[in-house]
Structure 1
Amino acid sequence: MNDSTSATRSGWLRGPLRPFRFGQYRLLAASVTLSLFGAGGWLIALVWQVIALGGGPGAVSMVSAASAGGMLATALLGGVMADRIPQLRILRAVAVVRTLAVGVVAALAVAGWLEVWHLVLVALAIGLGSGFTYPAYSALLPSILPGRDLMAANGVEGMLRPMIMQAAGPAVASAVIAAWSPGAALAVVCVCEAAGVALLLAMRPVPLRQEHPAGPEHPVRSAVTDLRDGFVYMVRTPWLLATLLFASVLILLIMGPIDVLVPFVIKDRAGGGPGDHAIVMAAFGIGGAVGSLAMASFRMPRRYLTVMNLFWGLGCAPLVFVGFATHVAQIAVAVFVVGICFSAPMVIWGTLLQRRVPPHMLGRVSSLDFFVSLVFMPVSMALAGPVSAAVGSGTTFLAAGLIPAVIAVLAIVLAKMPKDELAHPLDDRGDDEDGSAGTDDEPENEAVHPVEPLPVCT
């Protein structure tokens, strides 16, 4: 690429678009977009395919539980593998398996041979693969982008998830189901997945940033040792441990009320129905997209640990109004703000892991983060109903809105985050202001952004 082309490209690839200067990232982002689109379509097609087979809520729950159980089973192992195997290979393998699995289901559906147990097996296979995807993607990103662009890339991914997976994918799948059949929608999902595989195959090989040393130890014992080392690193790293503990409580407090209790608040207090529930959930998703994209437009805050945790803690406050709202519009505005405040610091969090966790540990630490979400989300949903029945929905939302702020402050103070973030600045104020340092050529893996080892508790 000549200098004029590079200058032209860098002239508009600014803000959250900065990472698109790099061809490797463009291919990866396009693949992720297609995968998210397929995932959103799969969720809708799955439900209606079960219904078409004569199944009810129990059958849908069984299929969904198989997917969630698969993810939970491989989440921690996925982190170990992401630190041992080039992450692009993992993403390719998982994408190929997912494409074949959806293709088989689509073919059986179109032929009229599909049964519910087929869907259970395929959902389990997809869930098992998903446990490997997140840590591999998180560990791959710093290998193809310079450190100053990671926050923008995480913001783009945070924006794509609600817009593509929760809106565009389900919308297209619903239209295909209405026009033809759930089997046709599954075929569309398969085509999207196959296109995503092609994009991953078009990427150049990306080696591990730090090769895993070979040794005589048995592979299983070695994997267990790696996993143990990941837990030890977490426990000995104050900001990481405190944030993960806080995130666990946060998910436990807010996800159940949002997913389980909001529909009843809409029905019983606001007099709304399913359409109003869809509007409220869309507001939450749009808020998340806005928050992610907005945060991607800024540099890493100087007080990144403090800002991130306070954003999460104080951002839950609008849930207080949800428990006492009497109009759908009030609920929608409240969850829109919560969506912004929940997703914006996620951009900081993902970037923080990629820049401060040593490369050889990033997969395992990312998997621990993923595991926390998987474990506490269903627990929160299971507890929301009984707790609301015992103390009332208003009190439940009051606790969900106020307790996170208290825990956020405790996490910041006890982990001495203000001192830590000043000792390890990530604001990149020494980088080129115009963001034009990059070209279309990918950065070298080792020279992109050196990672400082963190001090540990003694």
Structure 2
Amino acid sequence: MSDAGPLPEAVPAAGSAAGSGAGSAAGSAAGSGAAPGDALGTAPARAVRWRALAPLRNRDYRLLIGATGLSMFGNGMWAVVMVFQVMAIDDRPTALSAVAACLSGGLLAFVLVGGVVADRVPKRSVIITVQAVNLLAVAAVSALAFADAIRLWHMAVAAALLGAGSAFFFPAYSAYLPAILRPDELLAANGLEGALRPTLQQALGPALGGMVVGALVPAAGAAATAALHAGALALLLFLRPEPRAEHAGEAGGERPGALADMREGFVFTLRTPWLLWTLLFACLMLLVVMGPIEVLLPFIARERFADGERMFGLLLTAFGAGGAVGSLVVSSWRLPRRYLTVMVIGWGAGNLPLVVIGHVTSFWVMAAGMFLIGFSNGAGMVIWGTLLQRRVPPAMLGRVSSLDFFVSIALMPLSIAVAGPLSTVVPTPVIFTAAGVVPPVLAVAAVLAGRMAADEIAHPLDPPAA
């Protein structure tokens, strides 16, 4: 499942590509028995006192994670900049729906293609190209806004380019890690990236974006975002090309076509009930939840608070902080025996605070609600990533991860596009009530339809010692 945050850019990031896709990389490296880090002269991970910091001994990884951190920070700022730049052009929910739908649409249109490209094109080239496109898109928005020549279609094009870039970046990032790190360093690298994402992209980035936009103008926020992307691109240019990998045809067999690979992943998913019903649940849950948070929450913040821009950024900060805490708490415990039930029911019930957010006028109550939503999202993602790594065959993990990403966001553009027009005929508190109540119902239905209770007992993970 993608990392379903309150911003479409966070989703991919979030999410499945960074968690599930990274698991794919770890699985393939461990299965092959190769130690890519050895080829690059990486010191063994056991030589580092703090295991979680072992990947930072690698020069290329330091450059990559530094660039990724700057890009995450920029994406977090853009989530706020985009909202209020659109409002400055056309102050209607329908306009924001249209631009936000372009961002999610660009991601959705290329998410499966991105996985195929990452397997057939040098990963370093993909990562650098995506970062260059991100820089050009955001810099163009800033320049046009300062020149008072910005139009709504400019924002739509920039949003679509950023969404498509995410679809190409995260599969390439996940596949690049095994080429520069030892297999026993991959878990620590994925954990570091997972800790940075909610902190930078979902917390500090939106907070700073709200402050800059509130104190100055949206164009200034876009310029700051462009500077962060420029810094990321500068670091990526110093990455060394990854070692040349042997293609399937060179190993004595003909490489299957991209469509055949995709079809095999679809068949496996359809024949695996717990996987199928979790993805269906995620798809429907995001249809109900993403539109209200993405489109209507900025207007609620502006109507209820004098400095709505800053308060909206802080609400997203609360969500990111909740995600970071939820991830740390769950990863510190043993995997629940009823891991499927806990994961799905927790995801569904975690949206109940939306009912309160839709009705109250207290900022602190709204922030607490966003924190709880983020907590349940982060906690569920830890369990979900573990399941994909441990219950999906290593040879299938990459395709399943891409399909997970695709299915999870399939209805997000529709949710975002509908939220604005729906708010003109249905009161906003009613929409938020439905967004909070429907997901728990969907969660219970998925657990029952997928027979998850029986499945998790038949396939125990981390059983307690006798």
Q: TM-score, normalised by structure 2?
A: 0.70
Contact between 2:43 and 2:57, CA under 8 Å: does it hold in 1? no
How far did 1:318 drift?
4.9
Change over 3 Å in CA distance of 1:29–1:420 after alignment to 2:
farther
Change over 3 Å in CA distance of 1:324–1:173 after alignment to 2:
closer
Aligned residue-pair number: 417
Q: Which residue of 1 aligns with 2:267?
A: 232
SS in 2 for 1:83: helix
SS in 1 for 2:411: helix
Contact between 1:154 and 1:350, CA under 8 Å: does it hold in 2? no
Tell me which amino acid in the other structure corresponds to 1:347. Answer: V
Q: Which residue of 1 aligns with 2:106?
A: 70
Q: Which residue of 1 aligns with 2:9?
A: none
Change over 3 Å in CA distance of 1:393–1:190 after alignment to 2:
closer
User: Hey, what's the Cα distance between the residues in 2 that align with 1:125 and 1:390?
Assistant: 30
Task: Kindly indicate whether residue 70 of structure 2 is the aligned counterpart of residue 34 of structure 1.
Answer: yes
User: Hey, what's the Cα distance between the residues in 2 that align with 1:370 and 1:176?
Assistant: 32
Change over 3 Å in CA distance of 1:171–1:301 after alignment to 2:
same
Q: Which residue of 1 aligns with 2:445?
A: 407
Tell me which amino acid in the other structure corresponds to 1:94. Answer: V
Contact between 1:151 and 1:299, CA under 8 Å: does it hold in 2? no
User: Hey, what's the Cα distance between the residues in 1 that align with 2:170 and 2:402?
Assistant: 7
Please list every run of 5 or more consecutive structure 1 residues that lacks an aligned counterpart in the other structure: 430-458
Once the two structures are superposed, residues 81-133 of structure 1 have per-residue CA deviations (whole angstroms, 9 ceiling, x without a partner) of 233334343222211222233344445555x3843244433333222222212
Worse overlay, 407-416 or 230-239: 407-416
Q: Percent identity?
A: 44
Q: Which residue of 1 aligns with 2:12?
A: none
Q: Which has the larger radius of gyration?
A: 1
Counterpart mapping for 1:11-160 below 5 A: 12-14=50-52, 20=56, 22-49=58-85, 54-57=89-92, 60-109=96-145, 112=147, 114-116=149-151, 117-141=153-177, 153-160=189-196
Q: Which residue of 1 aligns with 2:16?
A: none
How far did 1:405 drift?
4.1
User: Hey, what's the Cα distance between the residues in 1 that align with 2:127 and 2:320?
Assistant: 26
Q: Which residue of 1 aligns with 2:286?
A: 251
Change over 3 Å in CA distance of 1:107–1:232 after alignment to 2:
same
Which of 277, 300, 321 is 1:286 aligned to? 321
User: Hey, what's the Cα distance between the residues in 2 that align with 1:300 and 1:376?
Assistant: 30
Change over 3 Å in CA distance of 1:67–1:296 after alignment to 2:
same
Counterpart mapping for 1:123-202 below 5 A: 123-141=159-177, 153-176=189-212, 182-202=218-238
Tell me which amino acid in the other structure corresponds to 2:271. Answer: R
CA RMSD after TM alignment = 4.6
Tell me which amino acid in the other structure corresponds to 1:367. Answer: S
SS in 2 for 1:115: coil
SS in 1 for 2:241: coil
Tell me which amino acid in the other structure corresponds to 1:409. Answer: V
Once the two structures are superposed, residues 183-240 of structure 1 have per-residue CA deviations (whole angstroms, 9 ceiling, x without a partner) of 444333223212222333333434587845479xx99x93333322321232233332
Worse overlay, 316-325 or 375-384: 316-325
Q: TM-score, normalised by structure 1?
A: 0.71
How far did 1:78 drift?
1.4
How far did 1:340 drift?
0.7
User: Hey, what's the Cα distance between the residues in 2 that align with 1:4 and 1:211?
Assistant: 28
